[in-house]
Amino acid sequence: MSSESGAILHEGATISARFKMLLRLHKLEARRGLAEIVDNPISNFMTVLVIAIALALPAGLQVLLENGKTLSQSWDGASRISLYLKLNVSNSQTEHLAKSIKDNPAIDSVEVIYPEQALKDFSASSGFADALAELDSNPLPPTLVVQPNVNHTSPLASETLLSEFKQFELVEKAQLDLDWVRKLHALLELAEKAASALGLALGLAVLLIVGNTIRLSVQNRREEIEVVKLVGATDAFIRRPFLYTGFWYGLLAGVLCWLILEVSLIWLHQPVQNLAGLYQSEFAISSLNIKQSFQLVGISCALGLLGSWLSVGRHIRNIEPR
């Protein structure tokens, strides 16, 4: 008698038949897990929304940081060093110095701005042409704009070059144009750490939210679990629909989080472009690419599944038929 019960899969079945059966079972349980959410749309939507917001905060910060990095990188190329020479330096001396600097392998190009040219440009752009014409002598020094090559644009290399230039006799003042780019770098690094910490904390929060929701759902179905245990269900069998529920929470929350981010970024697009326009920049805020979108949803699904897994095993174990 007992050999007959369950004989279908224990003995005769081919592997493909077993696999098909398992697939069917999973499909059924996935649907049941989803039904669990759909049957109670309002409270479950709240849960999904909370998870989505908890994910949107670190993910949004990450996107902004990524944008900040692209922005700072586009400025890296412009990390030029301006050398203001002493006022009494002649044009030939200037040219000579420019040539010697150009010979340095770390230097890409040197642009020479003679005082006459500088004055002409300044009076043209500043609108002080009349006032400047009144001056008896040109107050502007000859200037060399030095562009280090790509391998020497890092903060440290720029610093070395700068101190080197400062020792030249003819140089009155050497200035790194984008000193603040370095500060931005440091700031971004700090923000990145903060974002990681925030991500970790909120990821944990998501686990707890899902875990708690699943715990309530297990308690609500206590009677059903008892019955199913009585007819011989293993813990794994009982666990599966709950794991699917957790997975669906993660999936829905991930998609919702993605939507929240996209809408926020579209909303930010115009103001950022306006701001960039003020700095003569072409910079436009970029949203998540396909890979990042899938990563976001994937992480969300994994968190949902993990949260449910951590919670469901313990609580199902505690329910024994009476």
Partner 1 sequence: MIQFAQVCKRYPNGQDALRNVDLEIKAGEMAFLTGHSGAGKSTMLKLISLMERATSGQVIINGKNLNRIKRRKIPSIRRDIGMIFQDHRLLFDRSVFDNVALPLMIAGYDHREIGRRVRAALDKVGLLSKEKNTPIMLSGGEQQRVGIARAVVNKPPLLLADEPTGNLDPELSAEIMKLFEQFNQVGVSLLIASHDLSLLAQMHYRTLVMKESRLVQDQIDDVLEVDDSFEQDNDTNLVRSADEF
By CB under 8 A, name the binding residues for partner 1: 1-2, 4-6, 8-9, 13, 17-18, 21-22, 24-25, 224, 226-235, 237, 320-322
Residue whose structure tokens are 């245990």: 229
Q: From CA 237, how far away is CA 28, in angstroms rounded? A: 12
Residue 146 three-state SS: strand
CB of 214 to partner 1, least distance (A): 18
Are the CB atoms for 174 and 204 separated by under 8 Å? no
CB of 308 to partner 1, least distance (A): 20
CB of 248 to partner 1, least distance (A): 18
**Residue 300: closest CA among 236, 243, 257, 260:** 257
Q: Which CB sits closer to partner 1, 260 or 319?
A: 319
CB of 14 to partner 1, least distance (A): 11
Q: Which CB sits closer to partner 1, 116 or 223?
A: 223
Q: Which CB sits closer to partner 1, 208 or 233?
A: 233
Q: Which CB sits closer to partner 1, 108 or 235?
A: 235
For 2-65, give the DSSP string: TTTTTHIIIII--HHHHHHHHHHHHHHHHHHHHHHHHTSHHHHHHHHHHHHHHHHHHHHHHHHH
Q: How many CA atoms lie within 13 A of 41 on its CB side?
A: 1
Are the CB atoms for 247 and 308 separated by under 8 Å? yes
CB of 251 to partner 1, least distance (A): 24
Q: Which CB sits closer to partner 1, 6 or 277?
A: 6
Q: Which CB sits closer to partner 1, 36 or 97?
A: 36
Strands, E assignment, the chain:
81-85, 107-113, 143-148, 171-176
CB of 210 to partner 1, least distance (A): 23
| Phi, psi for 103 (deg, rounded to 5) | -70, -20
